[in-house]
Amino acid sequence: MGSHEHEHDHEHEHSELDETELRVRALQTILTEKGYIDPAALDAIVDTYQTRIGPRNGARVVAKAWTDPGFRDWLLRDASAAIATLGYTGRQGEHMVAVENTEQVHNMVVCTLCSCYPWPVLGLPPVWYKSAPYRSRAVRDPRGVLADFGIALPPGREIRVWDSTAEVRYLVLPQRPPGTDGMNEDQLATLVTRDSMIGTGLPRTP
Amino acid sequence: MSAPYSTHADLGGQLGHGPVVPEDEGILFHEPWEPAALALVLAMGATGSWNIDMSRAARETLPAYARLSYYQIWLAALEKLMIDRGQLLADELAGGHMLHPPVPLQRVLQAADVPAVLARGSPTWRADPQPPRFGVGDRVRTRAHPVPHHTRLPGYARGKVGTVERVHGSHVFADTHAHGLGEQPQPLYTVVFEGSELWGADAAPGLRVSVDAWQPYLEAA
């Protein structure tokens, strides 16, 4: 979507984006004048996703699952309830399922039809998740997608792709990296990348 | 006469879209107007004027879908939804100011309510006296033909045989909800397919793909 293909399209696209900026300002003005929106609510929404809801939430879920076997089992059985105890609930995460990576299976989550994504634990989806290359290829050539992320899985590993076509939202529980035995939850959380919780990456190693 | 329903968003399995370009976790927006676009769509979405399935239908049917950026799609669909309800008129958009009286809304999202509203979300599970028709392990075949309305069965998974892996209870049915025909909750299942079933003999080895399918998409196989 919106890719730069030819130089002469670049200028056209630039003025289209300026037009979009004007359109957004017009909408904001009109909707405020009509009383449809509270402008302070707009700021609160943006602030929420810029500072309070993001992938560090999911990293805490994963780190807790790595250190607490009871929480891990609960997460795999009833992710919505387990995650709710950490306070990460709500819009686009009402019905959560956690799927664990193992030596046998690597999981990858996509929404081929739009951009469905578990916002309460991962925040706003990255632009690639919402774009045609990922949405088209993840369900057909996940190893090719992983190669785009610089990841090569062992040849025998199965790949399970979850297409989020309804309101169930998926969180990948990556494997705990080796060499992390002494680490506490906060330290472990720093190893958990956003991409590893979608399935297009692996956690960092210490 | 209205045009037949045509989605441009059914991309699963299409070839030729090029590589996936990774992005740093810290990047949220790419244009200065995108935060406002996000906020406007969420704030208007909270007024009860439409539901998320109507939003998705409005987005996926935009003729310019393929060439618009993500938030441009959101904005164009927002305009469409509002214009259809008389909440916004074309001359107002052109002029940048209100020209016509506002339409009464069910509710307006106030700043103080934002955290609670976002934390509550919009659960789609509904209590349903009717038991689900299928259980874990059942073999099912998905509907084979395309339909002239919003649906969440992707084309690559039409007419395919898979296995029920999870039963999620009944959920608001997107196909009816998107067209103002009510929630009509239906049992929802995770159905998993072998890669070869979807893509043929050339399928990537060791690949399995699942979709979340409502019962009307399925028949016993």
Dihedral pair phi/psi, residue A96, rounded to 5°:
-95, 145
Q: Which of B58, B86, B120 is the last residue of a domain?
A: B120
What single DSSP character describes residue B111? G
Domain that residue B141 falls in: 125-220
Q: Which of A15, A116, A164, A196 is catalytic?
A: A116
Q: Are A37 and A23 in contact (CB under 8 A)?
A: no
Average per-residue pLDDT for chain B: 97
Residue B10 covered by a domain: no
Please write the tens of the pLDDT for every residue from B123-163: 999 999 999 999 999 999 999 999 999 999 999 999 999 99
B114 with B183, same domain: the answer is: no
B8-24: average pLDDT: 98
B118-125: average pLDDT: 94
Residue B110 covered by a domain: yes
B84 with B143, same domain: the answer is: no
Find which of B143, B209, B214 to mutate to test the A interface (most A CBs within 10 Å of its CB): B209
Q: Which of B98, B120, B142 is the last residue of a domain?
A: B120
Contacts 24+ apart (CB under 8 A), B34-38: B34/B71, B35/A46, B35/A50, B36/A24, B36/A25, B36/A28, B36/A42, B36/A46, B37/A24, B37/B71, B37/B74, B37/B75, B38/A45, B38/A46, B38/A49, B38/A124, B38/B71, B38/B74
Q: pLDDT grade, residue B2 (50/70/90)? A: low
B116 with B190, same domain: the answer is: no
Please write the tens of the pLDDT for every residue from B26-36: 999 999 999 99
Q: Please say if the pLDDT value at position A108 is more than 70.
A: yes
pLDDT at A2: 44
B114 with B129, same domain: the answer is: no
Question: Chain A closest CA to B2's CA: distance in Å?
Answer: 23
Which residue among A20, A42, A44 places its CB closest to the CB of B40?
A42
B58 with B91, same domain: the answer is: yes
Residue B15 covered by a domain: no
| Contact assignment for A25 to B96 by CB distance below 8 Å | yes
pLDDT at B180: 98
* Residue with more model confidence, A13 or B52: B52
Query: CA angle at residue A45 from A44 to A47, to 5 degrees?
Result: 65
Dihedral pair phi/psi, residue A205, rounded to 5°:
-105, 150
> How many secondary structure helices (H) and strands (E) does chain A include?
10, 4
Please write the tens of the pLDDT for every residue from A162-202: 999 999 999 999 999 999 999 999 999 999 999 999 999 99
Q: Please say if the pLDDT value at position B61 is more than 80.
A: yes
Domains of chain A by residue range: 7-37, 54-198
pLDDT at A16: 73
Interface membership of A118 toward B (CB under 8 Å): no
Q: Which of B120, B138, B170 is the last residue of a domain?
A: B120
Q: Please say if the pLDDT value at position B1 is more than 80.
A: no
Could you tell me the CATH number of the domain that includes residue B92? 1.10.472.20
Which ipTM did the prediction report? 0.97
Interface membership of B111 toward A (CB under 8 Å): yes
Please write the tens of the pLDDT for every residue from A142-162: 999 999 999 999 999 999 999
Interface membership of B145 toward A (CB under 8 Å): no
Cα–Cα distance between B178 and B79 in angstroms, integer? 17
pLDDT at A1: 45
Q: Are B149 and B176 in contact (CB under 8 A)?
A: no
Structure-derived torsion over alpha carbons of residues A107, B151, A27, A125, reported in degrees to the nearest 10: 0
Q: Are A99 and A173 in contact (CB under 8 A)?
A: yes
pTM: 0.96
Interface membership of A73 toward B (CB under 8 Å): no
Residue B167 covered by a domain: yes
The rounded Cα A131 to chain-centroid distance in angstroms is 13
Residue B174 covered by a domain: yes
pLDDT at A157: 98
Least confident of A9-13, B179-183, B187-191: A9-13
B209 with B165, same domain: the answer is: yes
Could you tell me the CATH number of the domain that includes residue B196? 2.30.30.50
The CATH topology of domain A54-198 is Nitrile Hydratase; Chain A (3.90.330)
Q: Please say if the pLDDT value at position B164 is more than 60.
A: yes
Q: Please say if the pLDDT value at position A7 is more than 90.
A: no
Contacts of A112 in chain B (CB under 8 A): 10-13, 154, 156
Per the annotation, the verdict on A115 as an active-site residue is yes
Instruction: Report the domain count for chain B.
Output: 2
Letter string b/e over residues A190-202, b meaning 16 or more CB atoms within 10 A of that residue's CB: ebbbbbbbbbbbb
Cα–Cα distance between B48 and B46 in angstroms, integer? 6
pLDDT at A8: 61
Q: Please say if the pLDDT value at position A12 is more than 90.
A: no
Residue B73 covered by a domain: yes
B100-106: average pLDDT: 97
| Contact assignment for B188 to A149 by CB distance below 8 Å | no
Cα–Cα distance between A162 and A112 in angstroms, integer? 10
Q: Is B189 helix (H, G, I), strand (E, B) or coil?
A: strand
